[in-house]
A = this chain, B = another copy of it.
Amino acid sequence: MSSSSTYTQLLNHVKQSSALGQIAGVLSWDQEVIMPPNGAPMRAEQMGALEVVSHAHRTDPRISEWLEKIDVDELDEVGKANVRLVRKSYERSTKIPTKLSEELARITSQAQGIWAKARSANSFADFAPVLSKIIDLKREEAKCLAGEVGNLYDALLNDFEPGMTVDVLQPLLEGMRPRLSALRQKIAEKSGGRATLTGPFETDAQMKLARSFADIVGYNWQSGRLDLSVHPFSSGTGNDSRITTRVDADNPLDCLYSTLHELGHALYEQGMPEQYVLEPVASYASMGVHESQSRLWENQIGRSKAFCNWLLPHMNEAFGKDTVGSVDELYKIINHVETGFIRTESDEVHYNLHVLLRFELERELISGTLEVTDLEAEWNRRFERDFGIAVPDAAHGVLQDVHWSVGLFGYFPTYSLGNIYAAQLNEVLRKAEPELNEQIAQGKTDNALNWLRENVHQKGSLFEPDILIENTVGAKVTAEPLLNYLEKKYTDLFDL
């Protein structure tokens, strides 16, 4: 059999694997948005059965035979990328013993409930034992992936940010700390109290405005939908890329900017190269690149003064009143800076400092230099070091994020990578579209979307993320554009 027909066989097989993965996504979406509450136990059985057959499909030994037979040199760029991605995913699947995967799935499934209860009870001690188990299993998993000599944290990181290593990441992220800390200090000395919008803000009006956000950014309603859920999220890909949001009656900005964030994710997914649907190459390059898309729309576009020019009249119209006195006032409100305990609620200046704390702690947990028994005390000590305020309780500290309970170690830094990539992309986008602010003020973002489509979305995972960014912006990954953007924005805003 020729190499190219072997490639076709392989591709058909992995497209089925992709389709099975998408099914798991549909079931999860349904569970969060639609499913009646009593359906949960049966849904767990469905997910379990799907994982059994999907795992068998992903680890089918024929994949290895096909990979051996294929002459990569005969393939085009897309074919080469597909083979690279299949090989990586196949090796990952086969390196980890099934028993370990099952144990991890079982423990993390339990741990989410334990974490939620511990957070309600404000008791880290209730969560610590299961977290210890998870870390033991994740270390074991990392050993399987990294081999004898590899770095454990790199192995975990690689699941979310292919090709990234601690050697590169640590100086990149830690390097931001001095300028971020200096900026937050300066702002703290200047910033006044928080202005607020004049309510009330009816649910229907919030959702209508959220939908108009989707309209102006070019979200394709024929290939997606917007629903409500407890936590906003995006789900699906290509022609079925859905988002959710939530409504806070007192604060419409939560709904609006959550929507804009998820729209950024969904635009990326809707922009995947349709001719390669279900092929590995037609999926996102990394979690960092995914986050760059959500953050660019949320922050560089959505929290710009230009966007406030569009937003103010539309907000007043939606809520049938003068919600705020002027565009300048609105711009201040949506860019309010305040030291807080919760990462997900933090502003652009503090956000990466939150991520740095987790990145530092989870590296030490995985390397074994930090024990789970010491984690809460270390969290609190370092939080005060970084933010200057004392953590009042575990719910506002070490228990605030779900990630570790799900076994997501190596995921947090991708949030900061997303911010870094977003700022790099934004810098080049602004050069390519010098009139972008004027367009945004008119609610016209099609040029921005087209640029992202062409330079990021349509590339799928043809390249590893650092290469994708370098190709697009013409420079290595660096935090300079992000720091410059933040310093300029807040210096102007607070007259620093």
Contacts and interface: CB of A to CB of B under 8 A. Distances in A.
8 contacts: A20-B46, A20-B49, A26-B46, A34-B34, A36-B225, A39-B223, A42-B238, A42-B277
If over half of A's interface residues share one DSSP class (helix, strand or loop), that class is named, otherwise mixed; here it is helix
Interface string A218-253: 001111110000000000101110100000000000
A177 interface: no
Q: Which 10 A-B pairs have the closest CB atoms?
A: A39-B240, A19-B49, A38-B239, A16-B49, A53-B53, A38-B223, A19-B46, A38-B222, A19-B45, A23-B46
Given A26-B27, A26-B46, A49-B19, A34 B220 contact: no
A54 B46 CA distance: 12
Contact of A36 (B17, B41, B240): B240
Q: Oligomeric state, in number of copies?
A: 2
A224 B36 contact: yes
Contacts of A181: none
B45 A53 contact: no
Given A43-B240, A49-B16, A277-B42, A27 B23 contact: yes
A57 interface: yes
Contacts of A27: 23, 26
A434 to B, nearest CB: 34
A38 B240 CA distance: 7
A483 B37 CA distance: 42
Contacts of A473: none
A170 to B, nearest CB: 39
A216 interface: no
Interface string A45-67: 11011101110110000000000
A36 B243 CA distance: 12
Given A42-B277, A278-B42, A278-B45, A239 B19 contact: no
A195 interface: no
B239 A41 contact: yes
Nearest to A278: B45
B26 A223 contact: no
A22 interface: yes
A221 B15 contact: no
A107 B61 CA distance: 32
